[in-house]
């Protein structure tokens, strides 16, 4: 067993920051578990009306999966001390994340075109849940985009190396988490009506 007190201060700091990231991810997981649980419970209401998901949600899934791949390749480049490759791939990840956000708003447009609104006339419990879950996820995607901006800047200005990449690793952990979270939410929304 490792005696943490004997580790260098840099490694102690890195471990504590990663641990805090995992605590944050667990908190976010619990929040979305609460939202999906509320969706399941509410689906038994008499006024529940199933909502067909817009195609933009499915297309955006491909975009966000691709963004995870480019960020994985960026980390690999960074480990190989290819800072310019890491910067380019991280910037591509940022562009793909931005495209994902745009596609989500296009999906909102498709929902409203179908007469499904967040609140007011034309709203439904199911529709409101979809808006809430997607908007909550988008808020975390925006946080991820801010992180990607910082990571890209630091890669361009050569603040990272294959031995000094904690900030990159933390940003990558968060980005991969929001990617997996979106896939979970989409699968949940697709299959929840058939399962529950």
Considering the entire predicted model, what is its pTM? 0.91
Of 27 and 152, which is predicted with more confidence? 27
List, for residues 127-178, the tens digit of each pLDDT value: 999 999 999 999 999 999 999 999 888 888 888 888 888 999 999 999 999 9
Give the pLDDT score at 6: 64
3-class SS string, the chain: CCCHHHCCHHHHHHHHHHHHHHHHHHHHHHHHHHHHHHHHHHCCCCCCCCCCCCHHHHHHHHHHHHHHHHHHHHHHHHHCCCHHHHHHHHHHHHHHHHHHHHHHHHHHHHHHHCCCECCCCCECHHHHHHHHHHHHHHHHHHHHHHHHHHHHHHHHCCCCCCCCCHHHHHHHHHHHHHHHHHHHHHHHHHHHHHHC
The 10s digit of each residue's pLDDT in 70-121 is 999 999 999 998 988 999 999 999 999 999 999 999 999 999 999 999 998 8
């Amino acid at each position: 067993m490792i005696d943490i007190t004997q580790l260098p201060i840099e490694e102690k700091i890195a471990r504590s920051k990663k641990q805090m990231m995992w605590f944050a991810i667990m908190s976010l997981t619990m929040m979305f578990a609460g939202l999906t649980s509320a969706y399941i419970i509410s689906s038994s209401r008499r006024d529940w009306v199933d909502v067909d998901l817009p195609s933009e949600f499915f297309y955006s899934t491909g975009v966000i999966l691709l963004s995870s791949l480019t960020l994985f390749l960026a980390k690999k480049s960074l480990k190989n001390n290819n800072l310019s490759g890491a910067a380019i791939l991280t910037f591509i990840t940022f562009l793909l994340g931005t495209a994902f956000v745009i596609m989500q708003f296009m999906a909102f447009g498709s929902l409203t075109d179908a007469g499904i609104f967040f609140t007011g006339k034309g709203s439904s419990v199911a529709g409101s849940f979809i808006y809430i879950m997607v908007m909550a996820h988008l808020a975390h995607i925006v946080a991820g985009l801010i992180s990607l901006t910082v990571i890209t800047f630091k890669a361009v200005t050569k603040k990272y190396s294959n031995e000094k990449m904690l900030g990159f690793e933390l940003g990558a952990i968060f980005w991969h988490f929001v990617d997996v979270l979106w896939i979970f939410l989409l699968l949940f929304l697709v299959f929840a009506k058939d399962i529950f």
